[in-house]
C-alpha cells in the first residue's frame, strides 16, 4: 500500500503567534510601499544592481538575518527554526512583500554548503551569499549531458594545489551575471559514469572562463553557454569530497526542484496562474476571446477543457499545501520523491495551461512583436514558447517519472 505523503498542520504556539505578529508589524513598517505587490527582487552580486527600493528592502532584511532566516547567525542568518522562517515567509507573502533576496545562492548552493561544506567553505561563502555580495550560477548541463547528467565530460585534473578545468557548460542561467559557479566536473575518467564526478566552486572572473548568451525560441536569453580553457581552481574549492560529485549534484537538484515547483518559482508564474501569479485565472484571460451566452462560454468543448485545467490547478495547490504542512510539522524539507511529484505535476500543468491559452487566442497568439498584437498577447505567446523549457529543464518529466517509479513504487530498474 502506498501511503499518502501528508499529515495535519500544527497550530501556532503562543510564542509562534507572538513572533508572527512581530514579523507582521516589522514588515509593514520596513517594506517600501513601492515594492508591495511587485515582483522586484534583488539577486545579489554587482552586475545587476536592480531597483533602489528592492536594494533597500534587501538591506533592512539582511541587517536582521532575514535574507536567510534559518541559517546560523555566524553566516548571516537569524538562526531561526524552519517553522519560524516559514512564518516570516508567510507574512511577507500575505503583505505582498517580495523576497528580499533570491537566486541560486540562497535556494540551492547555500543550503548545500550548509549541509556538507567544510567549516572553511561555510565561512568563506555563506556570509557573502547572505549579504548579497556574491551571485551564484549552476554549471551542470553540457551539450552532451542534458537529461543524462551523469555523462558530464568537463574535465578537472589535479595539478599540485589546483584543479585545471577544461570543457564547456550549457543552459547556465544568468552565467553572465553571476560571480561564482558551482560546477559538476569529471575528476576520474577511469571510473564508471557516476563515480568519477566532483563538484567544484570557483569564481567566474578566473582566467580562462568565458560566457556567451543562448538565444531561445522565445527570443529571450536568460541562459548562457560557459567555456573553460585551463581554468585554475584552488583545490579547496572541492565541495563534498573527491569523486563524490554525483551525490552532491543530486542533493542540489532536490533543492532546485523544490524551489521551482511551488508558487513563486518560475513554474508557478506566468499568465493564468491564478493565486500563484497576478490572481487572474485562465478563464478570466479567455473571456475576451470567446463567445458567451449570458456570461457562459458558448464553446462547450473549450469550457470543459478550461474547467478541467482549473480544477487540476486547485487540486495541485491543495496537495502542495498538505505536503508543506506535513513537512513543517516534522521540521523537515521536502523529500526527493515529493519534489519529483511536484516538479512533474506543476510543469506539465503549466505547459497545458499555456497550450489552452494559445488555442484560445487563435491568430492573436501568433505574434512575435510590433503592431496588431497587445503587449499581453505578445507576452503570453513568448511565455508559451518559454514554458516548453519547464518540462525539460531541472530534470525532464521522463526523469521525474523514472524517479517516482523506481523509488516510490519500487518497480524494478
Partner 1 sequence: MLLDEDERLLEDSADALFRTKAPIARLRALRDRPPGDRIDRALWREMAQLGWPAIPWATDYDGLDFGYRGLGVIARQAGRTLALTPLLATVWLGGTLVHEAGTDAQKRQYLPAVARGDLLLALALEEAHKHRPRPRETRAMPVDGGLRLDGCKRHVIDGGSADLQIVAAADAEGVTLCLVPRDAAGVTIRPVNAIDPRDLADIDYVNVFVPAERILGRAGGGGEALAHALDLGRIGLAAEMLGAAEEAFDRTVEYLKVRRQFGVQLGSLQSLKHRCAHMFCQLELARAVLDDALTAIDDGRPAAELARLASMAKAGIGQCLHRVSREAVQMHGGIAMTDEADIGFFLKRAAFAEQALGDANFHSGRFATLEGY
Q: Are 248 and 200 spatial neighbours (Cβ–Cβ below 8 Å)?
A: no
Alpha-carbon gap, residue 288 to 78, rounded angstroms: 48
Q: What share of the chain is helix, strand, coil (3-state, %, to 5)?
A: 45, 15, 35
Q: How far is the CB of 353 from partner 1 (least distance, A)?
A: 15
Indicate which single residue of 2, 120, 160, 279 sits in contact with partner 1 (rule: CB under 8 A): 2
Task: Give residues 268-307 in contact with partner 1 (rule: CB under 8 A).
Answer: 281, 283, 286-287, 292, 295-297, 300, 303-304, 306-307
- 344 is a site residue for partner 1 (CB under 8 A): yes
Q: Which long-range contacts (CB under 8 A, 24 or more apart) does 25-29 make?
A: 26/64, 27/91, 27/92, 27/95, 27/97, 28/95
Task: Give residues 175-214 in contact with partner 1 (rule: CB under 8 A).
Answer: none
Indicate which single residue of 47, 314, 332, 379 sits in contact with partner 1 (rule: CB under 8 A): 314
Pick the closer one to partner 1 by CB: 96 or 275: 275
Alpha-carbon gap, residue 153 to 186, rounded angstroms: 6
Pick the closer one to partner 1 by CB: 23 or 341: 341
Q: Are 221 and 215 spatial neighbours (Cβ–Cβ below 8 Å)?
A: yes
Q: How far is the CB of 394 from partner 1 (least distance, A)?
A: 16
| CA angle in degrees (0–180, nearest 5) for 118-119-120 | 90
Binding part of the chain for partner 1, among 10-18, 61-69, 365-373, 397-405 by CB under 8 A, reads 397-405
- Picking from 283, 356, 336, the residue whose alpha carbon sits closest to that of residue 314 is 283
Q: How far is the CB of 304 from partner 1 (least distance, A)?
A: 5
- 84 is a site residue for partner 1 (CB under 8 A): no
Q: How far is the CB of 288 from partner 1 (least distance, A)?
A: 12
* Residue 211 dihedral angles phi and psi, to the nearest 5°: -130, 155
Task: Indicate the burial class of 56 (C-beta count within 10 angstroms; 0-12, 13-18, 19 or more).
Answer: middle
Q: How far is the CB of 183 from partner 1 (least distance, A)?
A: 30
Indicate which single residue of 109, 222, 345, 361 sits in contact with partner 1 (rule: CB under 8 A): 345
- 331 is a site residue for partner 1 (CB under 8 A): no
Pick the closer one to partner 1 by CB: 189 or 412: 412
Q: For partner 1, what does the binding mask look like between residues 6 and 35, x meaning CB under 8 A?
A: xxx---------------------------
Pick the closer one to partner 1 by CB: 178 or 302: 302
Pick the closer one to partner 1 by CB: 117 or 395: 395
Q: How far is the CB of 148 from partner 1 (least distance, A)?
A: 14
Place of cell 514558447: 385
DSSP track, 363-394: GGG---SSTTS-HHHHHHHHHHHHHTTTTTTT
Indicate which single residue of 21, 73, 217, 401 sits in contact with partner 1 (rule: CB under 8 A): 401
- DSSP state, 263? B
Kindly give the pairing relationship between strand 180-186 and strand 197-203: antiparallel
- 311 is a site residue for partner 1 (CB under 8 A): yes
Indicate which single residue of 312, 324, 355, 359 sits in contact with partner 1 (rule: CB under 8 A): 312
| CA angle in degrees (0–180, nearest 5) for 63-67-70 | 105
- 404 is a site residue for partner 1 (CB under 8 A): yes
CB neighbours of residue 406 within 10 Å: 13
- Picking from 244, 233, 238, 235, the residue whose alpha carbon sits closest to that of residue 194 is 244
List interacting residues with partner 1 (CB under 8 A).
1-2, 4-8, 281, 283, 286-287, 292, 295-297, 300, 303-304, 306-308, 310-312, 314-316, 318-319, 321-322, 326, 341, 344-345, 398, 400-402, 404-406, 408-413
Amino acid at each position: 500500500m502506498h501511503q499518502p505523503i501528508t499529515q495535519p498542520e500544527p497550530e501556532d504556539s503562543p510564542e509562534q503567534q507572538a513572533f508572527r505578529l512581530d514579523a507582521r508589524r516589522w514588515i509593514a513598517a520596513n517594506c517600501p510601499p513601492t515594492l508591495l505587490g511587485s515582483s522586484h527582487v534583488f539577486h545579489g552580486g554587482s552586475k545587476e544592481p536592480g531597483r533602489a527600493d528592492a536594494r533597500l528592502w534587501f538591506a533592512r532584511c539582511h541587517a536582521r538575518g532575514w535574507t536567510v532566516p534559518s541559517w546560523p547567525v555566524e553566516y548571516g542568518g537569524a538562526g531561526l527554526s524552519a517553522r519560524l522562517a516559514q512564518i516570516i515567509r508567510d507574512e511577507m507573502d500575505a503583505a505582498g512583500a517580495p523576497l528580499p533576496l533570491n537566486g541560486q545562492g540562497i535556494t540551492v548552493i547555500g543550503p548545500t554548503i550548509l549541509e556538507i561544506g567544510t567549516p572553511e567553505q561555510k565561512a568563506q561563502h555563506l556570509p557573502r551569499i547572505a549579504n548579497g555580495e556574491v551571485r551564484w550560477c549552476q554549471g551542470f548541463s553540457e551539450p552532451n549531458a542534458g537529461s543524462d547528467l551523469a555523462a558530464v565530460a568537463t574535465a578537472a585534473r589535479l595539478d599540485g594545489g589546483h584543479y585545471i578545468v577544461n570543457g564547456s557548460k550549457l543552459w547556465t542561467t544568468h552565467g553572465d551575471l553571476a560571480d561564482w559557479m558551482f560546477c559538476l566536473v569529471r575528476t576520474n575518467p577511469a571510473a564508471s559514469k557516476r563515480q568519477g564526478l566532483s563538484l567544484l566552486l570557483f569564481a567566474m572572473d578566473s582566467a580562462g572562463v568565458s560566457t556567451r548568451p543562448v538565444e531561445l525560441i522565445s527570443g529571450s536569453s536568460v541562459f548562457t553557454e560557459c567555456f573553460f580553457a585551463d581554468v585554475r581552481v584552488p583545490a579547496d574549492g572541492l565541495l563534498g569530497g573527491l569523486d563524490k560529485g554525483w551525490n552532491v549534484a543530486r542533493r542540489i537538484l532536490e533543492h532546485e526542484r523544490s524551489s521551482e515547483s511551488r508558487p513563486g518559482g518560475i513554474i508557478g508564474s506566468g499568465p493564468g496562474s491564478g493565486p500563484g501569479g497576478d490572481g487572474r485565472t485562465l478563464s478570466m484571460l479567455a473571456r475576451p476571446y470567446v463567445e458567451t451566452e449570458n456570461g457562459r462560454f458558448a464553446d462547450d468543448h473549450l469550457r470543459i477543457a478550461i474547467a478541467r485545467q482549473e480544477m487540476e490547478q486547485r487540486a495541485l495547490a491543495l496537495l502542495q499545501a498538505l505536503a508543506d504542512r506535513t513537512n513543517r510539522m516534522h521540521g523537515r524539507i521536502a523529500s526527493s520523491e515529493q519534489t519529483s511529484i511536484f516538479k512533474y505535476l506543476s510543469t506539465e500543468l503549466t505547459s497545458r495551461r499555456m497550450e489552452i491559452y494559445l488555442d484560445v487566442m487563435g491568430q492573436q497568439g501568433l505574434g512575435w512583436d510590433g503592431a496588431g498584437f497587445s503587449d499581453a498577447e505578445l507576452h503570453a505567446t513568448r511565455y508559451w514558447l518559454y514554458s516548453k523549457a519547464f518540462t525539460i529543464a531541472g530534470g525532464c518529466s521522463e526523469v521525474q517519472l523514472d524517479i517516482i517509479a523506481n523509488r516510490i513504487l519500487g518497480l524494478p530498474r
